[in-house]
Structure 1
Amino acid sequence: MEAFTFSYPTKNYFGQGAAHKALAEELPKYGKHVLLAYGGGSVKRNGIYDELLAILKEQGKEVTEFAGIMSNPTYRKVQEGARLVREHKIDLILAVGGGSVSDCCKAVSAQAALEEDLYDYEYAKHKVPTAGVPMGVIVTASGTGSEQNAGAVITYEEKNWKGPLWGTAASFAVLDPYYTKTVPMRQVISGAFDTLSHCLETYLGTPREPNLSDVMNESVMRSVIENIRKVKADPEDMQARSELMWASAMAENGVLKLGKVTDFQCHMIEHQLGAYTDCNHGCGLAVIQPELYRHLAPEAPAQFARLAREVFGVAEQESELATALAGVEKFADFIEEIGLPTTLKAMGIEDKAMLHAVAVTSIRTPGCAKKLTDEEIEEILLHVLG
């Protein structure tokens, strides 16, 4: 296990009705100016907006709205939010939605407190913001675990770039499983798959021999697989939704990453695919990840074989590599079982020239079992074109 320093600042309020308890305790800590951030308007249709607005008004808050945050939040949207925060002297950002809203607001928080351009500050000067406007998150669509950390995934359209920016971690997060009933089942499943992908990309990092974080991760992955099946069979299964929501938080609150250099190579490839196509993140991961793992398993057969045995229930084969590859096929079968796409064409993506651009612009991650070449990434993408 690698050396680490661990601090976990986000206070989580979990369970039905958690928003009332959280806001009653948290809102008095901040000034009167609140930025209420949300996406395309579903929070208004499902009643969550009215519920939260009433609580804010009861607490005497003056609300500025920041609406229209898209599923792949853009750098332009971040700058729009930062301007609102400065103009209205916002004391607290309240992000209501899924990971996209949370990611956007984390970057908004950092940009609003920074005189320089956030992207240049991080990628030209190689600095990380140390201050930001306080924020809280009301999660309505779980899966990303975005509310648990300071990382934000933002699309910079002018640069054809989608990648990580460091923002501000939420001071508190509301995790009410009942709120997830307001989003379509397709989004619930793709979000939960994102959780599984986070776990896999943490598990398959270095060191490659198992440690306590990996053993805990195996349990989380088994739970995610079991509860995706349950919620798909019965959308009213609140126990399954609760388990998925907490698994999402566990995958990204840092606990499973302790002592690890994570992989996340699949995420980096999918991010660039998203930069060029604006595709659904969970679906993009589902298409790419099995083929990527077929390619990587020979580089770390013992690690992939343990995953196959402990998470996907594969019996011991004639070799570690055979066991590892059998596990990858069980993973691929599970994706098909839960109804996520298995080819890029199924997602409406067919441009081979664009896939070349994705390959050559994808970030390479240090925890991956192999440093992939441009040609290897392009080959993987062409294999899943369909």
Structure 2
Amino acid sequence: MNNFIFENKTKVYFGKGGVKEYLGCLLDHYGDTVMLAYGGGSIKRNGVYDEVMGILNAKGKRVVEFSGIMSNPTYAKAQEGAKLARENHVDLILAVGGGSVSDCCKVISAQAKMDEDIWELENTKHTFPTEFIPLGTIVTVFGTGSEMNNGAVITHEGKKIKGALWGAQADFAFLDPSYTLSVPMKQVISGAFDTLSHAMETYFGKPDENNLSDDINEAVMRSVIRNIRVLLTDPENYDARSELAWASAMAENGVLKIGKVTDFQCHMIEHQLGAYTNCNHGAGLAVIHPVLYRHICKSGTARFARWAQNVWGIASKGSDDETASAGVEALAAFIKEIGLPTTFAELGIPADTDFRAIADSTNITAGCCKKLTHDEIYDILCECK
């Protein structure tokens, strides 16, 4: 295993009723003005908004609302939030929603404390913010694991780039699986597949030899696969939802990445696809993953064969090549089984989309078992049509 330093600052309150029991006490540690950030308004329909506002009002907090954060948050939206937070001298940002809300608020937290443009700071000067407005999250849609790290995926519409920025990490996170009961099943499954993708993107990184991080990762992947299947037959199953909620956090809180150089080539391709099409993230990953893995599995045969056997339960086919390929096809079959799209056409992406521009603007990652060219990425995108 490679050398590493590990710390995770986020305190997690997991389970039913956590917000009601603990949020009020936490608010005592912050100032008077709280920015309540959320998306399209579902928290008002499912009762979460009223619950949180009741606690904020009981604590005498001045609430500044910032709504309308979209599923693929834009840089302009983050800048809008930063301006609002700065003008109102916000003491705490409370992000209520899924990963998009959390990601946007991480950038708001940092940008509000600095005069320099955060995109240029990080992407041109390659330096990072050091001051933040404190951040807390209440997760209502699981999948991204954003609540336990400082990474944010933001779409810069002007540059046609969807990429990572590094902002604040939440001081605390509430993970109440019961909040997901009002989320459409399609969104729940898409989010859960994003979790599986995060785990795979870490697992297929380097080094290839067996290590504890990958042993844990295999268990996380098996759990996600099993519990997605449970939800499809029993949508109200709280235990399955709770397992998926914690798997989501585990896949992105750094534990699975200890000692690893991660892959995330599929994410890089999907991010640029999203920059050009604004497609659903989890669904985009579902289309790309099998096609990408068919292209690269022979460059990481032993690792893919182990994954086929230990995650998908496939018996050895006599050679690692055959076993590895069987694992990739098991993934493809699973995606179809759970109702996610298998082509861009199913995802609603037009065939005349500028896939050449998407390919040429995709980052090439260091951890992938095969260093792809932009031409190969273009071929992969074309095969996804």
TM-score (norm 1): 0.99
2: distance between equivalents of 1:22 and 1:291?
A: 45
5+ long unaligned stretches in structure 2: none
Which structure 2 residues correspond to residues 292-303 of structure 1 after superposition, within 5 A?
A: 292-303=292-303
Instruction: Report if the CA contact (8 A) 2:94-2:137 is conserved.
Output: yes
Instruction: Report if the CA contact (8 A) 1:37-1:94 is conserved.
Output: yes
Which structure 2 residues correspond to residues 58-97 of structure 1 after superposition, within 5 A?
A: 58-97=58-97
2: distance between equivalents of 1:280 and 1:335?
A: 15
Instruction: Report if the CA contact (8 A) 2:93-2:109 is conserved.
Output: yes
2: distance between equivalents of 1:86 and 1:107?
A: 13
- What SS does the corresponding residue of 1:268 show, helix, strand or coil? helix
Greater displacement, 32-41 / 129-138? 129-138
Matched AA of 1:2: N
Structure 2 partner of 1:339: 339
1:148 corresponds to 2:109: no
Instruction: Report if the CA contact (8 A) 1:135-1:171 is conserved.
Output: yes
Moved over 3 A (4+): none
Structure 2 partner of 1:287: 287
Structure 2 partner of 1:134: 134
Structure 2 partner of 1:311: 311
Matched AA of 1:124: T
1:102 corresponds to 2:102: yes
Instruction: Report if the CA contact (8 A) 2:345-2:351 is conserved.
Output: no
User: How much does 1:262 deviate?
Assistant: 0.3
Which structure 2 residues correspond to residues 1-386 of structure 1 after superposition, within 5 A?
A: 1-352=1-352, 354-385=354-385
Instruction: Report if the CA contact (8 A) 1:352-1:382 is conserved.
Output: no
- What SS does the corresponding residue of 2:100 show, helix, strand or coil? helix
Instruction: Report if the CA contact (8 A) 2:273-2:358 is conserved.
Output: yes
Alpha-carbon distance change, 228 to 353 in structure 1, aligned in 2, over 3 angstroms: closer
- What SS does the corresponding residue of 1:159 show, helix, strand or coil? coil
User: How much does 1:77 deviate?
Assistant: 0.3
Instruction: Report if the CA contact (8 A) 1:140-1:182 is conserved.
Output: no
User: How much does 1:353 deviate?
Assistant: 5.0
2: distance between equivalents of 1:360 and 1:2?
A: 32
Instruction: Report if the CA contact (8 A) 1:150-1:167 is conserved.
Output: yes
2: distance between equivalents of 1:295 and 1:129?
A: 38
User: How much does 1:284 deviate?
Assistant: 0.0
2: distance between equivalents of 1:299 and 1:214?
A: 18
2: distance between equivalents of 1:269 and 1:22?
A: 40
User: How much does 1:371 deviate?
Assistant: 1.3
User: How much does 1:348 deviate?
Assistant: 1.3
Instruction: Report if the CA contact (8 A) 1:203-1:217 is conserved.
Output: yes
1: distance between equivalents of 2:21 and 2:209?
A: 42
Instruction: Report if the CA contact (8 A) 1:22-1:174 is conserved.
Output: no
User: How much does 1:47 deviate?
Assistant: 1.1
2: distance between equivalents of 1:306 and 1:107?
A: 38
- What SS does the corresponding residue of 1:29 show, helix, strand or coil? coil
2: distance between equivalents of 1:146 and 1:22?
A: 21
Matched AA of 1:251: A
Matched AA of 1:151: G
2: distance between equivalents of 1:85 and 1:382?
A: 43
- What SS does the corresponding residue of 2:354 show, helix, strand or coil? helix
TM-score (norm 2): 0.99
Matched AA of 1:152: A
Identity percentage of aligned residues: 62
Matched AA of 1:56: L
1: distance between equivalents of 2:5 and 2:70?
A: 34
- What SS does the corresponding residue of 1:153 show, helix, strand or coil? strand
User: How much does 1:318 deviate?
Assistant: 2.2
User: How much does 1:350 deviate?
Assistant: 2.5
Number of residue equivalences: 385
2: distance between equivalents of 1:377 and 1:210?
A: 29
1:308-365 Cα deviation digits (max 9, x unpaired): 0000111101211110010000010000000000000011112445111110000111
2: distance between equivalents of 1:379 and 1:22?
A: 51
Matched AA of 1:271: H
2: distance between equivalents of 1:148 and 1:131?
A: 18
- What SS does the corresponding residue of 1:256 show, helix, strand or coil? coil
Provide the alpha-carbon RMSD of the alignment: 0.7
1:247-279 Cα deviation digits (max 9, x unpaired): 001001100000000000000000000000000
Greater displacement, 189-198 / 15-24? 15-24
1:274-304 Cα deviation digits (max 9, x unpaired): 0000000000000000110111101010001
1:168-217 Cα deviation digits (max 9, x unpaired): 00000000000001210000000000000000000000001110000000
- What SS does the corresponding residue of 1:89 show, helix, strand or coil? coil
- What SS does the corresponding residue of 1:313 show, helix, strand or coil? coil
Greater displacement, 19-28 / 139-148? 19-28
Greater displacement, 251-260 / 127-136? 127-136
1:40-89 Cα deviation digits (max 9, x unpaired): 01111111101100000001100000000000000000000000110000
1: distance between equivalents of 2:359 and 2:308?
A: 28
2: distance between equivalents of 1:173 and 1:114?
A: 25
Matched AA of 2:51: E
